[in-house]
Homo-oligomer: A and B are copies of this chain.
Amino acid sequence: MSWILSAAQIPDLARGAAVLGTGGGGDPYIGSLLAAQALGTGTVEVVAPDELPDDALVLTVAMMGAPTVMVEKLPSLDEVVAPVHALGTYLGRPVTHIACAEVGGVNSTIPIAAAAALGLPLLDADGMGRAFPELQMVLPTLSGITASPLAFSDEKGNVGVLQTVDNGWTERIARVACVEMGCSVMISGFSMSGAEAKASLVAGSLSRCIEIGRGIGTAREEKRDAVAATVELLGGRELFAGKVVDVQRATSTGFARGRARVDGAAGAALVLQFQNEHLVAESAGTVLATTPDLIMVLEADSGEPITTEGLRYGQRVRVIAAPADERWHAAAALAMVGPGYFGYGMPAHRFDGSVSAADPTLTAAGSGAAA
């Protein structure tokens, strides 16, 4: 069922997207400003993937770079549409639909701005059901859909189009270009037919963001616990509550990397590790949850999501976890986005703390023990 998105829904959508963005995807306020500006008094048609004609030409649109930089470099509308125009010209066919590559503060709203500026419908879907730091980390990669041709553009007017041998190479070349161009660029890629989009995307993402964002607001209005309401909506659980006492963060090779410590009651402490997104939550030597499941930091009272670049000493927070799209727990998916890929020495743990059975590092360890 298609529906109409207007500027009035943007604040809820951006807030919900920042929750599902698991700390990454950029600042929701900045993303919502851009989308509201692009929508003005107009609207964008939002289409469910299963309504897509099979011969549609769907492109994802996203901002690539370190969120620490994105918050200081709000793109213009010209910059947002530049990679779509470049890619449309390269493909030599009219683009019919815009899709989100990931859910996140900026990367759920930038595609709205692009769709509004281009006069195209937007898919109620995204490539992850959350946010991840590298561009190949989308479910379409697992379906064999190529990131390239991928176009990228910066605020100066520089544009590039890549055609690479695999999605890992698209990431590598686009990332170094992104860093050289100022640590944030607009990208468009993963061109898909309607049939491919239906099969490989996570359906209902934008609706879900609005539902989550509105739920937080409604709970506050009704003096209910906004964090508990979010946990219930996501089918997740609350991992920890406490005060942020330490944040180590560096912007390196185009990512915001670091760790944060949250001190709780009775000497308990939680450590979060992140690379743009929260990837590991541990307490007292126990892994509570890891990528690909969702780890989110919310303001304790208001339930507002806090991005990894927004973490500050003294914040009272509650850390929650929720299940990822189940496709992320397949072995090939865990090889791409599991803790092992990011260099953390543990298998993937689901949001309830149990080990994700298909993690290839488990198999490797098993083989090692048997040999």
Q: Residues on A close to B: CB < 8 A?
A: 86, 90, 156-165, 169, 172-173, 175-177, 179-181
Contact = CB atoms under 8 A, between A and B. Distances in A.
What is the count of identical protomers in the complex?
Answer: 2
A167 to B, nearest CB: 12
Contact of A159 (B162, B172, B175, B180): B162
B173 A163 contact: no
A147 to B, nearest CB: 12
A370 to B, nearest CB: 35
Contacts of A172: 180
B165 A157 contact: yes
Q: Which 7 A-B pairs have the closest CB atoms?
A: A176-B176, A176-B180, A158-B164, A157-B165, A160-B162, A159-B163, A161-B161
Contact of A156 (B165, B175, B177, B180): B165
Given A160-B163, A176-B180, 14 more contacts: A86-B163, A156-B169, A157-B164, A159-B163, A159-B164, A160-B160, A160-B161, A160-B173, A161-B161, A173-B177, A173-B181, A175-B180, A176-B176, A176-B177
A158 B180 contact: no
A18 to B, nearest CB: 31
A173 B158 contact: yes
A47 to B, nearest CB: 31
A252 to B, nearest CB: 15
Contacts of A158: 162-165, 169, 173
Nearest to A158: B164
A309 B163 CA distance: 32
A158 B163 CA distance: 6
A162 B90 CA distance: 12
Contacts of A161: 160-161
Contacts of A169: 156, 158
29 contacts: A86-B163, A90-B90, A156-B169, A157-B164, A157-B165, A158-B162, A158-B163, A158-B164, A158-B165, A158-B169, A158-B173, A159-B162, A159-B163, A159-B164, A160-B160, A160-B161, A160-B162, A160-B163, A160-B173, A161-B161, A172-B180, A173-B177, A173-B180, A173-B181, A175-B180, A176-B176, A176-B179, A176-B180, A177-B177
